[in-house]
Amino acid sequence: MRKNIGLSVLVLIITASGLRAQQDPLYNLYSFNQYMINPAYAGVYNNFSANLITRKQWAGIDGSPLTNLFTAHTSVGDQFGTGILIVNDRLGINNNTEAQLSFSYKITSGSKTLALGVQGGVVGYKYDYNKLNLAFVDDEGLDMNNDGFSKANFGAGAFYMTDTYYFGFSVPRILNAKVNDGVSTSTRYLPHYYLSGGFIIKPRLTHSVLFKPSFLVRYTEKQVSADISINALFANTLWAGLTLRNFDGVAINTQIQVNRAFRLGYSFELPTNQLVQSNFGTHEVSLLVELNLFKDHFDIERYF
């Protein structure tokens, strides 16, 4: 009961303030699929890739974030790529659904690839005020007549990689999402900027293990967060590693190559602040499929 009341108060505060702290969905397994944060990644490898991810954050707390993500992208010839991204993100009274189409162009020289990408689509925002436990129903800061709206948006990104390292920069949704209720205008979403990078370390003493340190920095107005990760690949089959998120959460990440086409991933995250006492952690499950659908597609060992 205490959790329900606490979450309702939290959601009410967020809603009444115009959702100025609204964030993009968080993920832990993005290091195996940069497309979820960067449209330039579409078709960067010469194959078809589809990814399904389910993430439950702060399990055990009623109304905590639940995110379902589906992505599919493919190369088209040697220089182009295209893809689709669909996300449903739920938090308390919020239920947001997004659909984006992306296109990319890549320039390859030997082992070096520079890809530029754009995406565009629609984000639908919905609010279920029946989930609120309100102490006062006449709060002037809460517009309960506005239960949803949709906004078009677009984004862009760049991705550069070699055999041993990569860098990416993207703004998946460039436009603010503003709503006018007839009295005032509130901003429900601010653009997020992503900077990512990583590199491969292959120890000389063994060929069965390699390491991939990586980072991701997110920036939005007056707010910066960062992930620092280290993953290891064993026998070219099993990934295992750790992610430190903004110094207030730590995650264990794994991915196994079941066969040439299928990869299964799982991540378990715990906060290092006071939230650790009130939930059962964050769980993220991933199914990644890679296929050669066209004549110019081929098998490749990829680490990014």
Mean pLDDT (whole number) for 272-292: 85
**What would the two tokens of residue 275 be?**
């939230």
- The CATH number of residue 202's host domain is 2.40.160.40
Is the separation of the CB atoms in 51 and 69 below 8 Å? Answer: yes
Q: Which two tokens stand for residue 4?
A: 């329900």
Hey, what are 202's tokens?
Answer: 């292959």
pLDDT value, residue 17: 37
Report if residue 303 sits inside a domain. no
pLDDT of 257 reads 93
pTM equals 0.88
Q: Which residues of 143-165 are buried (b: 16+ CB within 10 A; e: fewer)?
A: beeeeeeebebbbbbbbbbeeeb
Q: Are 71 and 85 in contact (CB under 8 A)?
A: yes
Residues with Cβ within 8 Å of 219's Cβ and at least 6 positions away in sequence, in order, are 192, 193, 194, 195
Domain count along the chain: 1
Q: Residue range 13-33: average pLDDT?
A: 66
Largest Cα–Cα distance in the chain?
Answer: 69
pLDDT value at residue 214: 97
Contacts of 179 (CB under 8 A, 6+ apart): 146, 149, 185, 186, 188
Cα dihedral 153, 282, 261, 40 in deg (nearest 10): 30
In-domain check, residue 112: yes
Q: What is the DSSP string of 234-282?
A: ETTTEEEEEEEETTTEEEEEEEEE-SSSEEEEEEEEEESSGGGGSS--E
Rounded to 5°, the CA angle 195-202-299 comes to 75
Q: Is residue 7 part of a domain?
A: yes
**Model confidence pLDDT, tens digit, residues 25-70:** 889 999 999 999 999 999 999 999 999 999 998 888 887 899 999 9
Residue 240: predicted pLDDT:
97
Q: With respect to residue 300, please indicate whether it lies within any of the assigned structural domains.
A: no
Q: Spell out a b/e string for 245-256, using b for 16 or more CB atoms within 10 Å of the CB, else e.
A: beeebebebbbe
Residue 96 lies in a domain: yes
Domain that holds residue 64: 2-139+150-291
Q: In terms of Cα–Cα distance, which of 134, 27, 157 is closest to 83?
A: 157
Q: Answer yes or no: is 70 within a domain.
A: yes
Residue 109 lies in a domain: yes
pLDDT, tens only, 89-111: 998 888 999 999 999 999 999 99
Which of the residue ranges 58-67, 72-81, 129-138 would you say has the lowest mean pLDDT?
Answer: 129-138
Query: Is 171 within the bounds of a domain?
Result: yes
